[in-house]
A and B are shown apart, each in its own frame.
Chain A
């Protein structure tokens, strides 16, 4: 059984597996980093470390809107990094192998799988691709 944390980006629902997440932080102060691309909203001070904040909807091409007041801080393996999302949904527990619709991965959207859960389409976020995309963006922008 796997546990997922789903969240909304625009009208679509994405999700991350719990092991990929370290913590959810509320109302953090996001400090702007001058010279950074727009998709990098800034950085927060998290347990004494500087953690970059990614405007996830913006990065994946969703329209700019009101972001939620909570950030998903990713675990060390993918981090440090925090994701800013539109809306958070309650944790769901399900069996990934059963419910998976397709294992296809879409690079552009950073999706590594799609689920159909009780009628809802949930896309699993691919963090490695996300990171790669970010690095590319920064290299283009800054390099």
Chain B
């Protein structure tokens, strides 16, 4: 047990050191003669070496030592060159890889090759493996093949299959590995992880031609494992001592309060009991507030990683981009910070890849407005061409010609968040697959926020994320449907109202009402959740919300009320179910499930399609 604890500490600290190194390196690129910078770098590498050596992580220690030597050189030279920075960055990437190995309790990877002078694969790929949510989308397939029992020479056949599969995309992983098969391992089953653009059906059709295959399956991703491990990434947090003092004081007060309550109850002193309870409420509120504070982390946690990404992109694309971050000290709930990592990265990449032509500036600005945080990524590049989007939307069938004419620019921009939408002709390594923006939008909305896109052609684009301060405690609108309690975050609710059935009209196959001059389609929550039909009532309770870019009116049994609840994620196997992305236990012991309309409606749309 002890080892595990120390390992956690090591990993956290080492990660910090590495992050510092990356920041320093990026700064040094702009100011290569900064002695202090170089000295700081040296100290960081030294710390890592020391820690790794203590924990007997030899490879890590070795690499860190190597880095120390390099930096020592630079220190004596008094400057550091671009290529050196590249080299050092690659080294840092490798260190991160090592840390990952340690975290997953795998043996450390070999650093020999690196030290000998071979620079391993581009930093970008490793960076991808750290934040591999992008990999977890459709482009990554797990294929399970099984040969017929009676078929002879399984080995060669497997090799043939592997070759075939390579045509479909990139083989990330094979079990058994190619070398093993070559060396004579006999297996009738082949499991392949393939990075491909083809769909499951397409691959299936192509593989079907091989009669020797008895079974072609696409087993569901063992994403669970990965996700679990991902969530294990940052399980420690730094807490200031003053915060801890607060806690101790609060605990003391709570104990006193408990004695008061017990005495009052024993003496049947009702007024005393009430007083005590009042105090308790105050203390609990205080405690709650403090605990939340612990969860807060500065935005810098995310944005500090970005200069590195920008730099790498600049190097690979040859563009010159200035990267500025304002307001990185703003504090947000951890869960939000974690969820923002990928979207921010993606948006910055987008900005550089597609927004900026040759030269430009990408700026991240974060500020707080009452109980919301706004994070804005703006660039002064090309901007988004509304015409192109319009064309593409018409092509994809997302808009009818009439809609395309009448749609406002604001809504047009929102379309780029549609899955699969992309106006870019070529797909680069990093973006253009048309997958990223919808992931960003989903992530933002999942946190209970809004994504706003604004652009002026020729002057640049601006994407603003409006996020609540805290994810854990959310103000919910409680609704009832067929006896179950469900909740919608208030931030997603545009309006609640009650209408009489007489006001409902039909437009096509859809039931609609007129609200503020617009037609609002109505959907029955019972129907969406496949619950039995309810009784006909004199008044329909409606919740107006926006899903998949459209405003809809959700018909519910009853509007129960508003409450602030502490949202928990649902445990397995609930988390695999679509339609609920969290739950909360209310004060009276009832369980309220968080309603996630988007996947439910998508599923419905797919069914209808």
Contacts and interface: CB of A to CB of B under 8 A. Distances in A.
B249 to A, nearest CB: 24
B593 A131 contact: no
Given A48-B585, A50-B585, A137 B573 contact: yes
A81 interface: yes
Interface string A115-135: 000000000000000010011
User: Could you say which interface size class chain B belongs to?
Assistant: 20 to 34
Interface in B553-573: 568, 570-573
B530 interface: yes
A33 B482 CA distance: 11
Among A33, A134, A137, which residue has the most Cβ atoms of chain B within 10 A?
A33
A60 to B, nearest CB: 16
B593 A51 contact: no
Nearest to A28: B589
Interface of A is mostly: mixed
B386 to A, nearest CB: 35
B485 A139 contact: no
A10 interface: no
A31 B591 contact: yes
A35 B589 CA distance: 21
A108 B479 CA distance: 39
Given A32-B483, A34-B531, A139 B576 contact: yes
A70 B583 CA distance: 23
B574 A138 contact: yes
A43 B586 CA distance: 13
A138 B530 CA distance: 15
A104 interface: no
Among B530, B572, B573, B574, which residue has the most Cβ atoms of chain A within 10 A?
B573
B589 A29 contact: yes
B571 A31 contact: no
Contacts of A40: 573-574
A102 to B, nearest CB: 26
B571 A52 contact: yes
Interface in B571-599: 571-574, 576-580, 583-585, 589-591, 593
A52 B591 CA distance: 11
A81 to B, nearest CB: 7
A136 interface: yes
A79 B571 CA distance: 8
Given A32-B483, A45-B589, A50-B571, A139 B580 contact: no
A34 B484 contact: yes
Contacts of B574: 33, 36, 40, 43, 50, 52, 138
Interface string B106-134: 00000000000000000000000000000
Interface residues of A, number: 29
B591 A44 contact: yes
A97 interface: no
B271 to A, nearest CB: 30
A80 interface: yes
Contacts of B484: 31-34
A141 B591 contact: no
A29 B588 CA distance: 11
A115 B568 CA distance: 39
A98 interface: no
Contacts of B585: 45, 48-50
B481 interface: yes
Interface in B324-367: none
Contacts of A52: 570-571, 573-574
A139 B593 CA distance: 18
B220 interface: yes
Nearest to B582: A50
A142 interface: yes
B224 interface: yes
Interface string A25-62: 00001011111100010011100111110000000000
A90 interface: no
Contacts of A51: 571
Contacts of A45: 585, 589-591
B21 interface: no
B591 A135 contact: no
A63 interface: no
Interface in B496-537: 529-531
B299 interface: no
A9 to B, nearest CB: 19
Nearest to B574: A52
Given A36-B574, A138-B577, A31 B568 contact: no
A142 B529 contact: no
Contact of A35 (B483, B485, B578, B591): B578
A80 B571 CA distance: 7
Contact of B591 (A43, A131, A134): A43
Interface in B213-240: 220, 224
Given A43-B583, A50-B585, A50-B591, A35 B577 contact: yes
B589 to A, nearest CB: 5
Nearest to B525: A34
A34 B571 contact: no
Contact of A142 (B481, B568, B577, B591): B577
A80 B591 CA distance: 15
A34 B572 contact: no
Contacts of B570: 50, 52
Contacts of A143: 220, 576, 578
Contacts of A29: 589-590
A101 B600 CA distance: 47
Nearest to B219: A136
Nearest to B584: A50
B488 interface: no
Contacts of A81: 571
Interface in A54-90: 79-81
9 contacts: A29-B590, A31-B591, A32-B484, A33-B593, A34-B482, A43-B583, A131-B573, A135-B576, A138-B577
Interface of B: 220, 224, 481-486, 529-531, 568, 570-574, 576-580, 583-585, 589-591, 593, 600
Interface of A: 29, 31-36, 40, 43-45, 48-52, 79-81, 131, 134-139, 141-143
Given A29-B589, A50-B571, A131-B573, 16 more contacts: A31-B590, A32-B484, A33-B593, A34-B530, A34-B579, A40-B573, A43-B593, A44-B591, A45-B589, A45-B590, A50-B568, A52-B573, A136-B220, A137-B573, A138-B576, A142-B577
Across the A-B interface, the 10 shortest Cβ-Cβ residue pairs: A142-B577, A138-B576, A34-B529, A31-B591, A134-B573, A142-B578, A138-B573, A45-B585, A50-B583, A35-B579
